[in-house]
Amino acid sequence: MNDLELLNEQQKDAVLHTEGPLLILAGAGSGKTRVLTYRIAHLIETCGVNPWNILAITFTNKAAGEMRERVDRLVGFGSESIWVSTFHSACVRILHRYIDRIGYDNRFTIYDTEDQKTVMKNVCGRLQTDTKLFKEQKLLNIISHAKNEYKPPEEFKLDAKGDFWMEKAAEAYVEYQKELEKNNALDFDDLLMKTVELFQSCPDVLEYYQDRFRYVLVDEYQDTNTVQFKFLSLLAEKYKNLCVVGDDDQSIYKFRGANIENILNFEKVFPNARTVKLEQNYRSTQNILDAANSVISHNKGRKEKVLWTDNGPGKPIVCRQFQTGYEEAEYIAGDIRKKMEEKAEHYKDFAVLYRTNAQSRLFEEKFLMANIPYKIVGGVNFYSRKEIKDVLAYLKTIDNGKDDLAVRRIINVPRRGIGSVTLNKVQSYADAQGMSFFEALEDMDTVPGLGKAALKIQPFVHLIHACRLKLSDISVKGLIEEILDQTGYVRDLKAEETEEAEARLGNIDELLNKAAAYEEQAAEPDLRGFLEEVALVADIDSLEDGDNRVLLMTLHSAKGLEFPYVYMAGMEDGIFPSYMSIAAENAVQEIEEERRLCYVGITRAMKELTMTAARARKVRGENQYNNISRFILEVPSDLVGRGTPCNAPAVRPSQKDMAHARAKEAFKAKTFDPQQFKVVKADSLEYKVGDRVSHVKFGKGTVLEIADGGRDYEVKVDFEKVGVKRMFASFARLKKVESL
């Protein structure tokens, strides 16, 4: 039941104002998700709005899932008709129904980052672009920015005239888009671009969705870009019932295309808009909030708000400055260990936040030495690993044979002896006939010059056809298992008998887990839905609630999270804010963005906040001396507890201090001496195939194979106790023993 008495006055005001544009300025920890869900419930229960007339949008799958759960609990029957999704998921649903109106097939593929790079590499090859001057990733970034600003290739080309570099990028943009269209594929940015294009070119489709979604609610509005704003403004144009929730002080994604002007100028775009401020914080102590209020008040481009709480003042802010980054990491590891011993806290209650991923190394080393379990958020994406992309390429080919990238990726995985000459002949035939690569494979008997190579292609085509026939009778998990079995993919990995192969097998097992979980959770699970969910997943969505480890992450990754104990490390000018921001032409705007990032970091803390800095930090192997961050100096001194002064400028230490610090670091670094792991290939081995050898761990065995791998010899040994092992000779240090 929707009990408004559980809301404070400002929250209640935001819930009850149902008609017309509404801007809810929600400070950190002010209960914005509660307001959104109660507003939805109020619209249905009190105002009589049909559930299917409501669209609620947020940015990540995790946030959408949480909102969906809360809406279901509050609304109950009929809540399944409410669209609660990310921008991209909503656009996918719309495009799958109507994209044929703008020239695409409804069964399109969504390309991920690796797919985009492959397309751009092909485009650069065709255009004979010098990729030393025009990097593929740079071109993709320019195109992504253009799409975020809703600039189609033709418009971008006109704007680029007179600028040599932009003209080259415009050429690549035009060809890149042609390649996507030929493959019946969209990249992430296209999902919104094409939806807006659909709305603008098909007024009847737009009116259908305007009538369908009479009430539009948007979370994290400060993170929207131009094309997202166009999408929302078109949807809300007819009824004006657009409710946006956000915090301009937490706008930290400019590098992804976020436009802070969308929230700052909301009242100008919608002159009759009502504004409600949520300033009561339910997360942090007042000392933490006062620190955040003080820091963010130095920004000029913001809407005034002051966070407050009933949680009490809490502990003072801890601020520590150390001689080196190593000592900083050592202190944080020790403090976590101390709190764990004294307060019996959980490791997952602690988070270490830093500006860049590169800062994690020292914390990883110290946590390993201190036996503190940790997890890095935002590491290598699971779905970017080779074996996962291979399996997904099979699934994409089965679902959408027009995806040339997917087909070409796995036509020789595992190896089928199909060479590049054969593939080029098939591609030339496909281009000449205006068909997809897979359609050309199906037509292999008429491809000129294939000869016996057609016999190698045939089993691959038959496999795809056989899997398609089974789609209606097999689960996604079952389909993956069928692919792995028929191709021998797992069998080949097991035959390698290496740690790398074992890791890949573990990743494949995890993909099967993902497929099983998808089938349990989806209302109508199918292959296309699985591929869409995989394509739309965000890094932070992989964070498991039950994982009891200290979290290491960048400040950007911490957005939307909260922890009882937060450590903000590397708080030095040059690190945070970065030198790039300080030295930028628009330094004022760049530093304000960095200050918003600092505000986000501070407001992640619930009970205790620790801010640390180092006088000297290694950068490219050299000591760099930095002043303490201006953001720390913006925290009032009466909020900071006793300890090492944190307002002292960086000064070069004395020769004695430097010698002591170097000796201390050298002593502690011996455990990690990289020289002890350096591969030194022997001129020859004292043993040969058939000889008996001894290993310090595995015992005695017989040499089965010796292969010269270039950098080292790879030796295969059948050990009496542990069976067959493959190893490098320089690491194994096998000793020849006399045969019995």
Q: Which residues are catalytic?
A: 32-33, 219-220, 250, 604
Q: How far apart are CA 481 and CA 394, in angstroms?
A: 12
Concatenating the DSSP letter of every residue in 255-284 gives GGT--THHHHTHHHHSTT-EEEEE-B-SSS
Biggest CA pair distance of the chain: 95
Q: Are 315 and 608 in contact (CB under 8 A)?
A: yes
Q: How many Å apart are CA 455 and CA 555, to the nearest integer?
A: 54
Radius of gyration of the chain (CA): 29
Beta bridge partners of 83: 55
Pairing outcome for strands 622-625 and 692-695: unpaired
The dihedral through the CA atoms of 428, 433, 439, 442 has a sign that is negative
Eight-state DSSP code of residue 680: -
Strands 22-26 and 242-246: parallel
Closest CA to 553 of 545, 562, 508: 562
Which backbone phi and psi does 100 adopt, to 5 degrees? -65, -20
Pairing of strands 563-568, 374-376: unpaired
Question: Which one, of 585, 531, 560, 258, lies nearest residue 391 by Cα?
Answer: 531
Placement of tokens 């996918």 in the chain: 92
What are the distances in angstroms from CA 528 to CA 23, 524, 532? Answer: 36, 11, 6
Question: Exposed/middle/buried for 342, CB within 10 Å: 0-12, 13-18, 19+?
Answer: exposed
